[in-house]
Amino acid sequence: MTLALVGGTHRTVPLALRERLAFTAEQAAEALGRFRDRFPGREGVLLSTCNRVEFYTAGERGAAPPPPDQLVSFLAECRGIDATSLGPLLSREHDEAVARHLFGVAAGLDSMVLGEPQILAQVKQAWAIAQDSHTSGPLTAGMFQAALRAAKRVATETALGRERVSIPSVAVADFARGVFERFEDKRVLLVGAGKMAAETLRYLREAGAQDVVIVNRTAARARDLAARLDVTPAPFSDLEHQLASADLVVSTTGASDHVVPLELFLRAEDHREGRPLVVLDLAVPRDFDPRIGGRPGVWLYCVDDLAAACAANRRSRQREMPQAVAIIDEETRRFMGDMHHRSTAPVIEQLLAGWSETGDAELDRLYRRLPHLAEADRTEIRQAFERYAAKMLHPPLTSLRNESRSGPPHGLLDALRRLFNLPE
């Protein structure tokens, strides 16, 4: 049994090259089909996210994974990249290190945002694509199932994923939820059409927000983002009216001065009828005049407020790392023990088959010498033979199982083959 990994992450591969190396789901399926045809008998799973591209391969004796340089060349060929420039940036791992790495990835320990939960869904999707492409087999299936188990343990047994660490996630979960218990009945106003607005909206959608309006100085950009995010665009000249209608505002423009000065807000406030308003001002410089935060019923948060919460959450997550790493270590040992024990299956099958064949021959000889035996007596004798064989084989099989926990039991396997004259 051999496991192999070739891949790169945001720490090792520059963004420009990582963008070229990335695979869509359709491209990953196509690449796995090519891998299946070029390297028959090998297993492969391709994990591609915005921050990593990793190719996990596995094989049994006689069908070991391709050498790392071949895997690098294969990935480069699939994406039309020069392998000589890509190779030095990709890491290579083998066997236990592959499993340990995957378990840490699935648990969010190797993510840009420590403990972020989205990676687990991406790991599941990668495995599903490999299954559909018929490149996932018993080795990768066992490894990815163990990875999901490790990630679940880290999520439930530590607080690593319970604290938000990105500004949009903190803005929604720690601040907006501090005012509103639910968002299904709230009007959300996005001021600006940048990436921060889109990411914040994703968290709001997960929290239940449905009624969303976007305004931007460039009307075409507002319309484009509105179409992509399935929200309603409004002209920037309508900002005062939209402020009067909103329950939650997310502002992310790149303006050099306040987009919402105090005077504009006071005019909108006259039509709000005292309803509470949460403003997440994620712009630098700030979009909202800070004095607006002093108005009755207004909760105004700026980037500094959110960054402080993020920093506190990061420190909290770091304290959980030793326990999370201990879980990954434990699950890695468990998986490798299972895999090493799996490698003993052919010898165990040969032992059982040999004893069964010998027992059947001896029983046939006995039954011929005792033709008067009733069927019930024959069954009882056969069961006694089977129990005897099982008890005789129990000690060597137990030794194999125990030896597998600490590594491949090559010594015992060779000894059993010689003792019982088993073929390779």
Residue 32 has pLDDT above 80, yes or no: yes
Note whether 48 and 23 are within 8 A (CB). Answer: yes
| Tens-digit pLDDT profile for residues 65-98 | 999 999 999 999 999 999 998 999 999 999 999 9
pLDDT tops 90 at residue 57:
yes
Q: Which of 50, 78, 302, 310 is catalytic?
A: 50
Q: What is the pLDDT of residues 278-326, one digit of tens each?
A: 999 888 788 999 999 999 999 998 888 877 777 777 777 788 899 999 9
Q: What is the mean pLDDT of residues 114-136?
A: 90
Q: Which domains does the chain have, with CATH numbers?
A: 2-157 (3.30.460.30), 167-309 (3.40.50.720), 345-420 (no CATH)
Higher pLDDT, 282 or 246: 246
pLDDT in tens, 369-421: 888 888 888 888 888 878 887 787 777 777 766 666 665 656 666 666 666 66
Check pLDDT > 80 for residue 35. Answer: yes
Distance, CA of 337 to CA of 328 (rounded, Å): 14
Of 288, 324, 35, which is closest to residue 162 (Cα–Cα)? 324
Q: What average pLDDT does the segment 129-155 reach? A: 94
Decide if 50 is catalytic: yes
